[in-house]
Amino acid sequence: MGSIKFAIWFLAQALTVAGYSDAVKDVRGNLGADRIINLPYTAVTESVRSLLDGFEVDEFGNTNLGTDLRLSSEAVAALTLNGVEFSDTTEEWIQQFERNFENEAFVCQDSAEACATSADFFLQYQRMDAIHARFDNISASSPLASIDSIGSSYEVCRL
């Protein structure tokens, strides 16, 4: 399973100075009524895209089976009502998040520079300062890479 946006959002909220807060470890509570589904590629049609346009869709990533999406219970009900084939994988995702919270090595705990230069950089969750340090190191060591800004981004977090 590869998680993208939700995992980054979820983990960004999860980190405290002492580790993970108990409130954020409550994966089920933080997910609320939302569901995580796997939508097979064969089910991704124009009519399904149009149907989902009316809802907030958070794409987690893709597997060989299809696209993983976080949807509201209303969006899942609409898919069901329209006979769209999908698998509800919410429990599997919750179990994966809980395993990650139990694994102290899941998040690089070293300094930003140590994490940025680690051979395990892509095997661990990295904090934003380590990601910035990695980019800075790449741009400093290559004439082909540079750091520039093309605008601003804003992150909305639900508590």
* pLDDT band at 25; cut points 50, 70, 90: low
Residues 109-147 pLDDT 10s: 899 999 999 988 888 888 889 999 999 998 898 888 888
Residues 42-98 pLDDT 10s: 999 999 999 999 999 998 888 888 999 999 999 999 999 999 999 999 999 888 888
Q: Which helix (H) or strand (E) holds 40?
A: strand 35-40
Instruction: Taking residues 5-21, report their average pLDDT.
Output: 47
Residue 145 pLDDT = 82
Long-range contacts of 133-142 (CB under 8 A, 24+ apart): none
pTM, full prediction: 0.61
The answer to whether the CB of 58 falls within 8 A of the CB of 10 is: no
* pLDDT band at 153; cut points 50, 70, 90: low
Residue 97 pLDDT = 83
Residue 23 pLDDT = 54
One-letter amino acid of 125: Y
Residues 27-42 pLDDT 10s: 778 788 899 999 999 9
Residue 17 pLDDT = 33
Kindly report the backbone phi and psi dihedral angles of residue 49, in degrees, each rounded to the nearest multiple of 5, phi listed first: -60, -45
